Amino acid sequence: MAAATRPPSLIELDPVSLLRDDEQALAEPRTELCARCQNFDIQSFKLTSDRTRGYLLSEVQEAARDGCTFCTLLLDSVCTLPRPRDTTETEPNFLRLPVNNSPDMYVHMTVSQDYGPPEPGVNRLRTAIADRFSDVRSASDHELCLAADMDSPAAVEVTGRYLGPDPSSGEHYDAVRAWIDACKEHPRCNQTVSGQVAIDARQSPLPARCIEISSVAGELRARLATTDGMQGTYITLTHRWNLETEACKTTTTNYGDKQRGIDLDAVPNVFSDALTIASELKVPYVWIDSICIIQDGDNGADWRREAPKMAQYYQFSLLTLAGTTEDTTHGLLRPCNDMPWARLVQIPYTDKSGTRPGRFFAYKRRVPLADDYWAAVRESILFRRGWILQEWLLSKRILWYTSKGMFFECQTDGARSEYGERVLVDNAHRSQLQLKGSFHFASASILDVWYAAIEVYSSCHLTKPEQDRILAVAGLAKEVGLILANRKCEVYLGGHWLRDIHQSLLWEEEHEAAPWARKVDRAPSWSWASIMTPMKWPARDKDPKKAVQIVGLCHTRRDSRHQMECVVDKGWTASISGRKVEFDPTNISACLHARGKLHTPQTHANGEPYAPPVDQR
């Protein structure tokens, strides 16, 4: 249950309990300020259009030497910057004086909301070095953040927050509710990826089965309920399979017992925490694949029926919960005492009337937020699962529980920390983090986004690749098919799109990857799905020369010479006796009939490819 007490104030944080010994002296909020910083006025930033103010560098240096904590923070952020290049310089000038030898320079400070417009408030402080009135500046890469206690008057304008170390606190649940409410205003987050269906997460079609939760005399109860055909609100959980989850999976033997009730003391902490979170958010249903799909005893019948629907289940849920720590024995709701700062600087807050009713805090992040997110989420053991890519891209809202605290991610806004800071992705090697926002019908080239997604997927692990290699991205394929055209006309086979087959067949193994050691026998050898290894696609040629002509195909693998089942029409659709081929996002076994290189088609005596007779009726 949520804790009733408020989180500790930033000023009350105990550095002894929170930080390592060598950091204790740096961690406690410092109040020593020079006379200028004691009169710091955050309202003065509104006097300029770019929300920028400046301090003379020589004065900052002097105040820092005298012990001003805010000037020390500013000086640390700019002391290694080069003097800004003169506008007349066309080449780097290595004789330019370093900043420390340029006391006539100014430290320019810009307040913003995630480095964008300062609305509805501010949570970042960007620093740079330049002449007083020059627009040519050397910008610092230090990530300086602003935060205020929730009950402080400064919280009206300073939006950074500290919620405390306990993710089960009432403040954390309030933050999650606020995130969800804000996300409900995002058009992208309230429709399917293809844009074909509007989503009302509070009244969605429920999965075939859900865990129904209730409270009896303050005690949480749960049972497996049949919910097929019903509407309501539910939460999904993505998790790693291990011995604990294996032990509590649903089988034909224990199915009846789970319908009568689930022993919460016998399920993994990850599962019980997911049910607790749903209860706190007043959500009556939770979907967990290992419990809501029959895993054993029916020869896989329920799995084959439910697996293709999993993409819809994640897409229509209110929220997907994900725990990324390698040790899951402590569940999702484990305390996080890893503070992002080494030193907190306390600054007086001046309100619009000119009075000083409170304070706020400035700090430099130990590690840039994007790096924390990358390490805690993208490089986590959870993200090595093959199924996670589809769950990540299709879930409208994901709540990541990590060793770095909570991250909330939606398709429109990207990821945010529990401190309210947005994860900004501008590094080329982090382009994968932009994939979720790009996987949408509004993207200029959805097929290029598809290839980027498969590149990520190819590095992931599958326990049963023969069964899941294509199935684990079938939901993505379904949405891409809806984006490309009427699904009755789109041809998808073995993980490839017929309309873009020439680009699609250019996949290659990632040159830095270890040699592949596992083959997927069900997939055709020309498909990326045929081997388990990281792979990539080359950049699309602006003027491609198509050396291969696809004239037909088969939806099942056959011998090298046989009649093709389908005739390719217009290069990207196929027909059987005049009927369009049904779109199948789960297809894995296929043959291509091509002139020249891939699969030798059977031909007539005149050299024309053989085609089954077309019904003329």
The answer on pLDDT for 95 being more than 60 is no
Region 359-365: what's the mean pLDDT? Answer: 95
Other C-beta atoms lying within 10 Å of the C-beta of residue 125? 22
Counted domains in the chain: 3
Q: Look at residue 555 and give its three-state secondary structure.
A: coil
One domain for residues 498 and 590: yes
Q: For residue 598, what pLDDT is reported?
A: 45
Q: For residue 222, what pLDDT is reported?
A: 97
Sorting pLDDT into bands at 50, 70 and 90, what band is 22? very low
The token pair that represents 28 in the structure block? 């406690």
Distance from C-alpha of 114 to C-alpha of 421, rounded to nearest angstrom: 7
pLDDT, greater one: 407 or 563: 407
Other C-beta atoms lying within 10 Å of the C-beta of residue 582? 12
The answer on pLDDT for 616 being more than 60 is no
One domain for residues 421 and 308: yes
Q: For residue 424, what pLDDT is reported?
A: 83
Question: 469 lies in a domain?
Answer: no
Distance from C-alpha of 593 to C-alpha of 112, rounded to nearest angstrom: 58
Q: For residue 561, what pLDDT is reported?
A: 64
Distance from C-alpha of 236 to C-alpha of 556, rounded to nearest angstrom: 34
End-to-end, the C-alpha distance of the chain in Å comes to: 68
The answer on pLDDT for 593 being more than 60 is yes
Distance from C-alpha of 590 to C-alpha of 588, rounded to nearest angstrom: 6
What Å distances lie between residue 352 and 21, 149, 349, CA to CA?
A: 40, 18, 10
pLDDT, greater one: 97 or 474: 474
Q: For residue 592, what pLDDT is reported?
A: 83
Percent of residues, the chain, with pLDDT higher than 90? 57
Q: For residue 342, what pLDDT is reported?
A: 85
Q: For residue 10, what pLDDT is reported?
A: 66
Q: Look at residue 258 and give its three-state secondary structure.
A: helix
CB 336 within 8 A of CB 324: no
Question: 384 lies in a domain?
Answer: yes
Sorting pLDDT into bands at 50, 70 and 90, what band is 455? very high
Find where tokens 């300029």 sit: 48
The answer on pLDDT for 68 being more than 90 is yes
Question: 17 lies in a domain?
Answer: yes
Phi-psi region of 539 (alpha: psi -120 to 50; beta: other; left: phi over 0): beta
The answer on pLDDT for 570 being more than 90 is no
Across 185-189, 410-414, 464-468, 552-556, least confident range:
552-556
Cα four-point dihedral sign 68, 69, 70, 71: positive
Q: Which of these, 165, 164, 174, 105, lies nearest to 140 by C-alpha position?
A: 105
One domain for residues 112 and 204: no
Sorting pLDDT into bands at 50, 70 and 90, what band is 330? confident
One domain for residues 359 and 374: no
Q: For residue 86, what pLDDT is reported?
A: 62
Distance from C-alpha of 347 to C-alpha of 344, rounded to nearest angstrom: 10
One domain for residues 389 and 356: no
Question: 449 lies in a domain?
Answer: no
Distance from C-alpha of 42 to C-alpha of 221, rounded to nearest angstrom: 50
One-letter amino acid for residue 211 of the chain: I
CB 234 within 8 A of CB 219: no
Find where tokens 């290029």 sit: 448
Cα four-point dihedral sign 319, 320, 325, 330: positive
CB 413 within 8 A of CB 495: no
One domain for residues 196 and 328: yes
Sorting pLDDT into bands at 50, 70 and 90, what band is 311? confident
Region 282-294: what's the mean pLDDT? Answer: 97
Question: 101 lies in a domain?
Answer: yes
Find where tokens 């019908």 sit: 441
Distance of CA 453 to the CA centre of its chain: 12
Q: Look at residue 286 and give its three-state secondary structure.
A: strand
Distance from C-alpha of 192 to C-alpha of 441, rounded to nearest angstrom: 9
The answer on pLDDT for 13 being more than 90 is no
Torsion of CA 238, 242, 248, 249, to 10 degrees: 70
One domain for residues 154 and 194: no
Sorting pLDDT into bands at 50, 70 and 90, what band is 87? low
Cross-strand bridge partners of residue 362: 146, 345
Cross-strand bridge partners of residue 416: 408, 422
One-letter amino acid for residue 481 of the chain: G
Which of 325, 347, 364 delimits the end of a domain?
364
Angle at 496 between CA 493 and CA 497, to 5 degrees: 90
Distance from C-alpha of 461 to C-alpha of 472, rounded to nearest angstrom: 11
Winning range, highest mean pLDDT, from 9-23, 257-271, 507-521, 589-603 = 257-271
CB 386 within 8 A of CB 442: no
Question: 429 lies in a domain?
Answer: yes
Which of 403, 418, 438 delimits the end of a domain?
438
Distance from C-alpha of 361 to C-alpha of 42, rounded to nearest angstrom: 12
CB 495 within 8 A of CB 529: yes
The answer on pLDDT for 91 being more than 70 is no
The answer on pLDDT for 28 being more than 80 is no
**pLDDT, tens digit (0-9, with 9 covering 90-100), for 387-431:** 999 999 999 999 999 999 999 999 999 999 999 999 987 654 466
Region 243-265: what's the mean pLDDT? Answer: 94
DSSP state of 377: I
Question: 482 lies in a domain?
Answer: no
Sorting pLDDT into bands at 50, 70 and 90, what band is 218? confident
The answer on pLDDT for 304 being more than 60 is yes
Q: For residue 541, what pLDDT is reported?
A: 82
Distance from C-alpha of 289 to C-alpha of 309, rounded to nearest angstrom: 11
One domain for residues 248 and 309: yes
The answer on pLDDT for 602 being more than 60 is no
Sorting pLDDT into bands at 50, 70 and 90, what band is 606? very low
Sorting pLDDT into bands at 50, 70 and 90, what band is 306? very high
The answer on pLDDT for 515 being more than 80 is no
Q: Which of these, 406, 387, 389, 409, lies nearest to 398 by C-alpha position?
A: 409
Sorting pLDDT into bands at 50, 70 and 90, what band is 254? very high
Other C-beta atoms lying within 10 Å of the C-beta of residue 268? 21
Percent of residues, the chain, with pLDDT higher than 70? 85
Which of 418, 438, 458 delimits the end of a domain?
438
One domain for residues 241 and 275: yes
One domain for residues 159 and 193: no
Region 501-529: what's the mean pLDDT? Answer: 88
The answer on pLDDT for 5 being more than 60 is no
Distance from C-alpha of 459 to C-alpha of 513, rounded to nearest angstrom: 9
DSSP state of 529: G
Sorting pLDDT into bands at 50, 70 and 90, what band is 566? confident
Element spanning 496, H or E: strand 496-497
pLDDT, greater one: 400 or 612: 400
Query: How confident is the prediction for the chain on average, in pLDDT?
Result: 85
Region 147-176: what's the mean pLDDT? Answer: 93
One domain for residues 97 and 228: no
Distance from C-alpha of 374 to C-alpha of 423, rounded to nearest angstrom: 10
Region 81-91: what's the mean pLDDT? Answer: 66
The token pair that represents 540 in the structure block? 């699309």
Q: For residue 140, what pLDDT is reported?
A: 92
Q: For residue 340, what pLDDT is reported?
A: 87
Domain residues for the domain of 110 are 10-163+339-364
Q: For residue 236, what pLDDT is reported?
A: 98
Whether the upstream peptide bond of residue 120 has omega within 30° of 0, thus cis, is: yes
pLDDT, greater one: 463 or 1: 463
Q: For residue 488, what pLDDT is reported?
A: 54
Question: 512 lies in a domain?
Answer: yes
Distance of CA 175 to the CA centre of its chain: 18
One domain for residues 136 and 279: no
